[in-house]
Structure formats: C-alpha cells, structure tokens
Structure 1
Amino acid sequence: MAPEFPDNWTLCASSFNWAPEITAARRTAQDIVTGIADSAVKTIELEPGLLWRTFPAPQDAEVDALRDSLAARGARVSIVGASLDDFTSPTERRSLQERLDFLVPQLHAARRVGASGVRLPVGQAGTELLTLLQPLLHELDLVLYEEIQGQQSPRNPSVAPALDAIAGLADDHVRVLVDISMLMPALPVTYLEELRRGGVSAELLVRLENDWRDPATLDAVTGLLRSGKVPPHIHTLFMNLLIRFGRSDAADLQGILSLVGAFHLKFWDLDDDGGRVSQPLRDLGSLLGRKGFTGTLTSEWGGHEWLQDDPTETTRRHLALAETCLAGSAPTGRAAV
C-alpha cells in the first residue's frame, strides 16, 4: 500500500518552468502554457509578465483566450504572479494611490482568468496598501500571498515586520507563500559544476559543497564578492548564493504556518545526491501533515538559468517526486489500496 496524497493539498506547476521556451517564442506563450495542461498538470500558476503582452494592465481578450483554452482542457489557474512597480523613474516613487491603481487591473485579470490568488514579494505592498486592497480582495474573492524565499526567513529583520502585519490583519484574504528555496540542505550538484567551470577556486568549492549551512561559508562568499575576484561571466550566477539559496530548516516555519496558504516547491535540478531535492520535501510533508495545512504546492524550476533540460519532462519528474515525498511524510495521508 502506498500513501495517498492528501485531498486538501493541490499540486501545481508554475509557467515559470517554461520561461526559456516562452522567451524563445517558437510558439505563442498561450500555446506553451495551455500545453502544460496536456503534458504535465491541470493546475497552473501563471507568470503573466511572460504571457500577456498587455501586462500589467491585461486586456480582457488576452485573459479570456487563456481562460477558455485552459477550461477546454479541464485545467485551471491557481495563483497569478502580480507585479508592483514602485517607481515611475529612477528617482520618482509612485504615490500610494498610484501603487493601488497599478495593482487593481492585475487583480481583476486574475479573477477573470479564474485564479484564486495573486502573489507579491513579502513586505513590498506594506500595511497601508494592503488595507486599501482588502475590500477588493473580498469583492473578487482573491487571496493576496506575500512570498518569502531564499535567504529570507521568518526571523529575518526585513521579513518579520511584514509577517507581523499580515498576522495583524487577521484576514484569510492576505496570506503567506513560502518558497522552499529557503530549505536547502546542500547546493545543487549542477550549480556547483557551473561554478567549477566558471573558475571559482577549489577551496571555496569544497566549502560550498560540504558546509553550505555554515555561516562561515556565507562570509567566504561575501568576501570573494567584495574582493572583485568573482569571474565576470558568472557574476549573476554567483549572486544566487546570497539571494536565492537558503539555509533554513522546515522547523523554522512552525511559528508562521497559521499564516501560510501556499508553497513553491522550488528545485534547481533533480540530482538527489544526499537528499538535496527530496529531504526538504519530506521535512515539509511531515510538518504540514501535523499542522493540518490546506492549499497549493507548486513545482517551480529555477535551474533553467544554467541547464538546457526539457521543462516538461523535468517538471513531470519533479511532480512525481514531490507527490511521493510529501504523501509519504504526511501523517494525514491515507493508505491507497
């Protein structure tokens, strides 16, 4: 008997996984996104900046065309990635009303495409804007998720006030989305290979491979960056060490789980040496099963920054692994006969 995936957990895939295909433009973005429903999964998280030419004020015709195409395949949208451009120029910041006006068309488009929520980076909106958005979120029956990821953690001074603000609102229409890039026991094997080929020293590579979670390792990364000795051609890739790759444990999430309504199951490659990919999934499944989580868990592949793997096959394999690890670790999972 194999454990069954809990009914109140929904596995999804992000259209971000197909970003290289979308930007290559050999097919239309809509064809690629609707193809996800045919080849991978029926619930899809959208990155509309890659999809709708009229974004950030998506026109009804574009939105309707995608909604109808997905519906014809029995598919639906879970969350739409919103954008909040806070500045009109390098020095001019939008007023509170202008920020609200920038977001409102995106919320209407999300509702029109059939989504249940929209997503912003944690803390970007701020309490004033969240308060102004609340009536519209209720009217449209949308959840606004604030996302924490990578090096961020609930105790981070730049994150904790935003989480406190969400808790203070006590509104189910404003929740948290956790990206498990926070929960990396080790760095991706293929990423380390890219750094090796890019000219990073053997000494630092040994430390990155064996002592990723040691604070001294991050000090070494920062020191190399400040020295100006990071090879220019891998500078952007190297910055992942400071931003996108986290060093937290699943237990660090316990205090905020009552605020969390969605997860990004971020992965970079499928080389599971030492449980690099599967262990965070198992830890998360165990934690969520004990806490009675309900919500979406979305496969999100970040490794296409340096890998040329097929996104459909990669996503399917990751979803299968995620389902097995999460269901197998969740005490609430039922046994399938």
Structure 2
Amino acid sequence: MSKPLNGAVIGCGFFAQNQLHAWAALPGAQIVALCDRDPVRLAETASRFGIVRTYADAAEMFVAERLDFVDIATTVASHRPLVEMAAQAGVHVICQKPFAANMTDARAMVAAVEAAGKTLMVHENFRWQSAVRRVIEIVRAGTLGEVFFGRVSFRSGFDVFSGQPYLAEGKRFIIEDLGIHTLDIARALFGDVIRTAATTRRINPSINGEDVATMLLTHRSGATSVVDCSYATKRIPETFPESLIEIDGTLGSLRLDAGYQLVMQGCVEDLSPPLLAWASRPWHNIQESVLIIQRHFLECIAAGAAPETSGRDNLQTLALVEAAYLSAAEARTVDLATL
C-alpha cells in the first residue's frame, strides 16, 4: 500500500471542519499541518483533530513542511496569493469556492498551477452530492435521450448567517455563495453555457447582498435551463440544503424532489444520503459530498488526471457567476464569450 499523501489545511473556519473530518476518513491522505490567522480557532481545531504542527503564516508553513497537497479553506480574497504560493512550493491544490474574486485572478491561478505541473481542483461540492450524482449519471448515460430543458432550484429560509456571519456583509450574496453551486450543477447536467439572463432581489433588510436570484441559461448543447435560488423562501417543511431538479429529454423526464426522491417515468427511487459518523442533519448531504469530492481529488493525483471540477473547468462556472451579476445589473442578456 502506498504511503498517504501529506496535506495541510489553510483556514479553520465553519466549513473547514467538514473538510478535516473527511480527510481523517480517507486513508490516502493525512493532514500534518494547519494554518489560520486566528490563534484561538487554530488551537481549538488542532486539538479537535490531533494535529500538532500549526502556523499563523502560510508562507512559513510552505517552507517548513514537506507537503504533497494543500486544502485552501479560506475566503475568496486570499485565494489567489495562496494558490500561487502553493504552486511555487510545488504542491497539489484543492481550493474552496468561489475560486477567485474575478476572472483575471482565476486565469492567473490556473496558469500558475499548470506551469508547476500540479493538480488544481475547486471544492465545488454540490455536483458531488450522491443524489445529484445519480441524476448526472442518468443524463450522461443517455437514458433521457437528448435533454432540451432543465431546472435546478434551491429555495430555503434556513439561517445560514449564524454560522457564517460574513455572508450578510458582502455586496454580493446568493449567486456568489449558493448560486455558484446550482450553476455548476446545471453545467454538469447540460453542458457549458453560451449566454444567460438573470434577475436578483434583496428581501432580507438585514443583509447587504441579494438573497433571491433567477437565471435563464442557453447551453451549447441546445438545452435551456432555469437556475433559481433563494434564502428568503418560507417553506414548510424546510428543504435545506436540497437542490431540486427537473429535466425533460426526448426519451423521458425526471424530477429530483424534496426528500431525495427521484421520480422518473412513474418510478420512484429513494436517494437519501447516508448520515456519516461525524455528520449532522440537515447538513449530511453536503458533508457526504465533501468526502466524495476529496476522494476524487486524491484519485486524480494518483492517476495524473484532471479533476472533474478542475481549476480550468471552474473558469466556466465562475464566468457564469460574473455574467449573472452583469445581466442583473444591466437588465440584459450576457454572452459568456465577452467575459
């Protein structure tokens, strides 16, 4: 059996705890170092996961440690310098979404890691949820024939701000934080996008950014999809954090309904995700996807293959986010080739 890869996690915040649990469950990796600028958070996380070596400075960590990969679990403003630092150190990178603050930074990050000959994956985990993955497999197998319409919907009133208060502070919110996931699901299902038209609204007066968005996508495949997301929807029962999907094809249709129920041509399949030992409801479908995506990252490193959500692939998802904001601001359709 080959030795596990030595990794480090930069950022010990809310979501990074899931990533650390997943790394601990994967035999192909071991986290040997942690980095965070908050000394209390760093110490608590190191104690929780039994990680001895800790750093307040990423540059110092890259010099001191012999790493195979780094997991960047920080906010977006730090991604470019950290990814470029990792590339210079010659380590593989998995980076939290949103990948970059803008397309210029994203392209520079991809170029830096490609020049270093290393693997770059974006932690775009919604397409890796087991229920969503099953839908992707059905579409890619051609079971529905030629797909001509789809809808990916995430609507909830769940309080996401208590665990991540910074989400309420930015000028951008739901497209950049949540819509990026649903847009990525649409790309996984229907292919890359030629143009988009979007509308946004802010319903919650206590936040700065938009909390409702609807996007119409024209895909290169010829399919049309609607991607809608909301954190202002009062729904009983609450469906957080499920993505609901509808697809029409020339040979049939399917729906991924609330409760992880897949309905296809009159047949119902229960796609409820497992509750991992370290997971908790209602987050368990996302937590499972973290394990799946990180396993894929390790498999790609071993095989020398590009991850499905590679940095280069994610340029298309990030471009969709930028196009949606531009479309909503200027009330027009945006051609992605112009970005």
Q: Note whether the superposition's TM-score is higher than 0.5.
A: no
Query: Greater share of strand residues, 1 or 2?
Result: 2
Greater RCO (Cα-Cα under 8 Å, separation 6 or more):
1
Higher helix share: 1
TM range (shorter): 0.3 to 0.5
TM-score by length of 1: 0.33
